[in-house]
Structure 1
Amino acid sequence: MNEIPDQQSSYPPESIANTDSESKAQVSQKRKWYRSSFLPIFATVLLGLGLVWAQFIYDPIQGDALVNLISFSMSSLLGLILAFWFSFLSFFSRRTVLTIMIPLLLIGFGWAASIRRVEFDGDMKMNFVYRWEPPPILQQAHASPVQEEVGVYEESPTNFPAYRGRNFDGILVSPPLNKDWQANPPQELWRTDVGAGYASMAVVGNSVITLEQRENQEAVTCYNATTGQLKWIHSYPARFYEAMGGLGPRTTPTISEGRVFIAGAAGEALCLDFFTGKVIWSRNLLDDLNIPNVIWGQSSSPLVLENHIIFNPGGPDGDGLIALDPETGKTIWQAAGLSKYTEDNKTNHCGYSSPIMMNIHDVEQLIIFEGKGLRSCNIETGETLWHYPFENVAGVNSAQPVLLDDGHHIFISASYAMGSAVVDVQKSVDTNAEGIEKNSWTVEKVWHEERTLRSKFTSVIYREGYIYGLDEGIMMCIEPLTGKKQWKAGRFGHGQLVYADGTIVVMAEDGNLHLIEPNPTEFRELTSMMVLPDSSKVWNPQALADGIVYVRDHRQMAAFDLRRVTPEGN
């Protein structure tokens, strides 16, 4: 008879018990794994959807800069969350975590240490400049300027003596231009390295004058327009740097009657001899007035009138123009806003556009699109005639205002959720008790549309009743009296526009030069070519004088002959 085993002592078998124990451990381990994986999975899904939303769905009124800022922030946050999870919350062993994280940290620190600086374009995209990249070597930094024979100051309608041309409006007198660059590529006349900064060039006769940052000095430099050879240089201690905007001066020299007037980024106001670069007078307006600089540096180019030179150092509530004597540099008048600074109010709202002259209802007046809005001032006294509030969160009004053909409507445009507007300026004449007549002014909004033609850095072109400009980097045409959009096409980044010989010459932010036909019915690009290769951003306005275009960024400058080739015998 077989013995029946003791079930209580032998069941379950040891192997089965061990299996159940292992299964429970595996289940417990899986549960812990699932719980610890919730954070990275949730973060990846949530932030991934956020990135898709920002890049493909979100339509920000402030343009692509906000999209890129949101995308960068989300990507950085996701990376930090995953690194924290993997290091402290994941189910990986300490050895695995250290084996992976230590090399990654070393690589990350090494990469960060290798970055000399970060440059941002107009849409807040980053470009890294590494320490192993040799800094720009100015070919003519230590060269002796070529002393040319002093000639006659050449006044010509095809000169480019100031910012955006003679009238600060980008409308230029030009010989016929070559408009087929594929069949007849424009000839490159010369190319040279230059110092940092976002100045344009002033061109009179055979001289090209610009502003550069050379180490710890700002430099006014004069080049031969034909050869690119340095003719003279004047340097002075000044260095302005802002992390997003970058290094160097921002304004354009103004040439008038054999003199060069300069507004430096840190407040310098200078008058130099056109032929030699010798100083006639010099002062620092910010120091003299005991006022702070604006966030992105002094950016208003000087305006020369008959017996005044107008600068825009700024005021806490705007109204910060100052008129100097062109002969001596002494103050003729200063606007009331300059006296409003206190120890508790040190914010400068001078804006970033340049003062211009407008004739409104037969009255010549100074117009400045400052950080607080559009202002008109009396030329002889600086007294405010009228003011229209137009302020964005950044206090950045950079585009030049435009007086429409009727002589009393003014077009203005800005970025940072502002868009474009047209205001109507009206004059009435009042007579006081003594029988003295005095003008009274009113300014009213005609229209304002936040998503129409948001000009960030770019001033518009006004031709034959239509406005052409860059709406957050995309070309747009509108009818200014109504704000009606005609079309929107063509991506040029935050470039610059001038008009010559029936075409709009576009210097795009990526270094390409384009010719656009100003047509209100459709977008028509005529031709284009790369003129500033390998540039991370071209913010310097181009100069066009006598059919030669001068282009530069914060590293190099070049000249191209755009004149139409006339067949022999014609």
Structure 2
Amino acid sequence: MIATRFISLALILLFAPLIYFTVSAQGMTYSNWFFVPASIVWMLLLSFWYLGFGKKTFKRRALNLGMGLVSIVIIALVLSRLLRYEGSTSGSSFPRFSWAWQSEENSVERLKPPHNDGGISPERLKGAVRNLNQIFGPERNGMWPEAEFNTDWAQHPPLEVWRRPVGAGWSSFSVSGKRSVTQEQIGDDETVTCLDLFTGETLWRHQNKDVRLLLTKTDTPMASMGGEGPRSTPTIHEGKVYSLGATGILNCLDLETGQEVWSRQVIEEFEGVNHDWGLANSPLILKDQGTVVVASSKNAGTNLIAFNLESGKTVWTYDGLGASYSSARIIEYFGIPQIICVNLKNVTGHNPSTGVALWTYNWPGNFPRVGQPNKIGDAGLLLTASYGMGSPLLKLSKKGRDWSVERAWNSTRLKTKFSSAAIIGGYAYGLDEGRLACIDLADGSIVWKGEKYGFGQQLLFGNHLLIQTEKGAIVIGQLTPKGFTETGRIDNALSSMTWNAPAVAGRFLLVRNNREAICYLLPEA
């Protein structure tokens, strides 16, 4: 009896470290949620052990357990009244709480004039501007052949041009001339905002009244986990702004005035279902076809839609198994440009003129796919994701009119949860569950793993990687197959959780989160 008593207790006590090491070995933060049910099971096992082997009478042991259970219920009820859930603390999805009596932050009250000391001459600013018409640059992959700025920030630090409060949202910036455009949530209104690039002053706002993701996405508690506000970045094309809101409103606006040219609802009009965390893909402009393309519903049905740039009329639709959070981009294979879409359950290549799928690669699972696909060599396509799905390298081939896709390998060593991979030669670099890592494109094996920057974003300029860390600091450094060497950082940039992608337009660096936006002038090359 004594041996049974102590052996059973030892096994129960060992249950906790066994679960901890098993979950931790997966290297995925979402797996940490298994600790919650595991802890409940562990406490139940301890309770049963106490009930069966405790030294006091059975009646007394049962009474003690009952009192403990009632106490836990009372504490939980009290905390539910005292605390208010406010989304995630980070990309790990751990909850953030505040006291219920604290007033909720009002984004309207925070919209004060930008801070700008006017210390940089307008002439100096004008010479530094380059257009950035869409998310992640001209190829929508976050990579530029070289930097137009000096990457040695330790010796030549960036200059702050302005900083200002902004409404909630995970949008980035697009830039045309002196106009920089983003999206934000102001009260209950989803807003497209145009700022003066040199001063940070508001030039215009276009508001969709009473449009707010957390007011409409009430069918799942996960919506609030991702925070408030629009996620997509507007695209600028020939004097127009094309913006996609979190609830599915696609606006075409005049760049000069913000006046609406046309508007569509890409979820409701096509009988779709919004994503758990709202629509996040950015509009893709197809100039030759005269269309703007967006991904839509998370459910099977109409998932990809092309609209006429001028009128907003539907040009074509594609019915698939469900869209995801990645933004479509054009990639050319064997001389044929095609729209590459990372979807909820597969990856597809489409004819830009008709939307017809040229090929499909099944990539099962219901977890979000956020990363941008990358062309590797002449026929390769690298996909990256987290949540245990792996990051496969695909090989495309074409015989006559028929396309085929095969998987070369699948790696779990580059798990990009919110960000994308950067490619230099035969290596891919990215934030592997928040930690900078490098894998060999020959087989997907790990080359090195470096510092943890959190679930932020990155841009590549030549062989220099600019990282917007999740905590708000901005880091730049040189990448090689041997490691990452920082050449500068801005520690006093943003001061709270940042999932927004940075935007670099020439020598202007624009960063923001759901509270604040900052514009820097980067040093001359």
TM bucket normalised to smaller? 0.7 to 0.9
Q: Tell me what 1:231 maps to.
A: 203
Task: Flag the 1:52–1:119 CA change in 2: closer, same or farther, 3 A.
Answer: farther
* From 399, 410, 419, the counterpart of 2:390: 419
Task: Flag the 1:446–1:206 CA change in 2: closer, same or farther, 3 A.
Answer: same
Q: Tell me what 1:386 maps to.
A: 359
- For residues 549 and 142 of structure 1, the distance between their equivalents in structure 2, rounded to whole angstroms, comes to 21
- For residues 186 and 79 of structure 1, the distance between their equivalents in structure 2, rounded to whole angstroms, comes to 53
Which protein has the larger Cα radius of gyration, Structure 1 or Structure 2? 1
Q: Residue deviations 1:65-112, cap 9 Å, x none?
A: 21x2123344456678889989x98849999x98x9999877654443
* TM-score, structure 2 as length reference: 0.84
Secondary structure of 2:180's partner?
A: strand
- For residues 129 and 462 of structure 1, the distance between their equivalents in structure 2, rounded to whole angstroms, comes to 41
CA shift, 1:139, in A, is 6.2
Contact 1:261 1:302 in 2 (8 A): yes
* From 316, 320, 325, the counterpart of 2:308: 325
Contact 2:494 2:512 in 1 (8 A): no
CA shift, 1:463, in A, is 2.2
The alignment status of 1:116 with 2:84, answered yes or no, reads yes
- For residues 36 and 489 of structure 2, the distance between their equivalents in structure 1, rounded to whole angstroms, comes to 32
- For residues 419 and 321 of structure 1, the distance between their equivalents in structure 2, rounded to whole angstroms, comes to 24
Q: Quick one: percent identity of the two aligned structures?
A: 29
Secondary structure of 1:53's partner?
A: helix
Q: Tell me what 2:121 maps to.
A: none
The alignment status of 1:70 with 2:42, answered yes or no, reads no
Q: Structure 1: any 5+ residue segments left out of the alignment? A: 1-30, 146-153, 338-347, 430-438
Q: Tell me what 2:17 maps to.
A: 52
Q: Tell me what 1:368 maps to.
A: 341
Secondary structure of 2:267's partner?
A: helix
Secondary structure of 2:269's partner?
A: helix
Q: Tell me what 2:118 maps to.
A: none
* From 513, 520, 523, the counterpart of 1:560: 520
The alignment status of 1:478 with 2:446, answered yes or no, reads no
1:145-224 matches, cutoff 5 A: 158-172=130-144, 174-181=147-154, 183-224=155-196
1:234-273 matches, cutoff 5 A: 234-236=206-208, 237-241=210-214, 242-273=223-254
Q: Tell me what 1:336 maps to.
A: 319
Q: Residue deviations 1:8-42, cap 9 Å, x none?
A: xxxxxxxxxxxxxxxxxxxxxxx9xx9xxx89x97
* TM-score, structure 1 as length reference: 0.78
Secondary structure of 2:168's partner?
A: coil
CA shift, 1:375, in A, is 0.3
Q: Tell me what 1:283 maps to.
A: 264
Contact 1:502 1:517 in 2 (8 A): yes
Task: Flag the 1:440–1:302 CA change in 2: closer, same or farther, 3 A.
Answer: same
- For residues 58 and 243 of structure 2, the distance between their equivalents in structure 1, rounded to whole angstroms, comes to 60
Task: Flag the 1:186–1:112 CA change in 2: closer, same or farther, 3 A.
Answer: farther
* From 126, 144, 151, the counterpart of 2:95: 126
CA shift, 1:540, in A, is 1.1
Q: Tell me what 2:456 maps to.
A: 495
Q: Tell me what 1:23 maps to.
A: none
Task: Flag the 1:137–1:245 CA change in 2: closer, same or farther, 3 A.
Answer: closer
Contact 2:273 2:298 in 1 (8 A): no
Question: What is the one-letter code of the residue matched to 1:320?
Answer: N
Q: Structure 2: any 5+ residue segments left out of the alignment? A: 52-56, 115-125, 215-222
- For residues 94 and 503 of structure 2, the distance between their equivalents in structure 1, rounded to whole angstroms, comes to 26
Secondary structure of 1:251's partner?
A: coil
Pick which of 184-193 and 464-473 moved more.
184-193
Question: What is the one-letter code of the residue matched to 1:271?
Answer: C
CA shift, 1:486, in A, is 2.0
Contact 2:156 2:523 in 1 (8 A): no
Secondary structure of 1:376's partner?
A: strand
- For residues 101 and 372 of structure 1, the distance between their equivalents in structure 2, rounded to whole angstroms, comes to 42
The alignment status of 1:292 with 2:269, answered yes or no, reads no
- For residues 74 and 452 of structure 1, the distance between their equivalents in structure 2, rounded to whole angstroms, comes to 26
Contact 1:47 1:74 in 2 (8 A): no
Contact 1:62 1:415 in 2 (8 A): no
Contact 2:19 2:38 in 1 (8 A): no
**Higher RCO, 1 vs 2 (CA within 8 Å, ≥6 residues apart):** 2
Q: Tell me what 1:7 maps to.
A: none
Secondary structure of 1:453's partner?
A: coil
CA shift, 1:454, in A, is 1.7
Pick which of 407-416 and 354-363 moved more.
407-416
CA shift, 1:168, in A, is 0.7
- Aligned-residue Cα RMSD (Å) equals 3.4
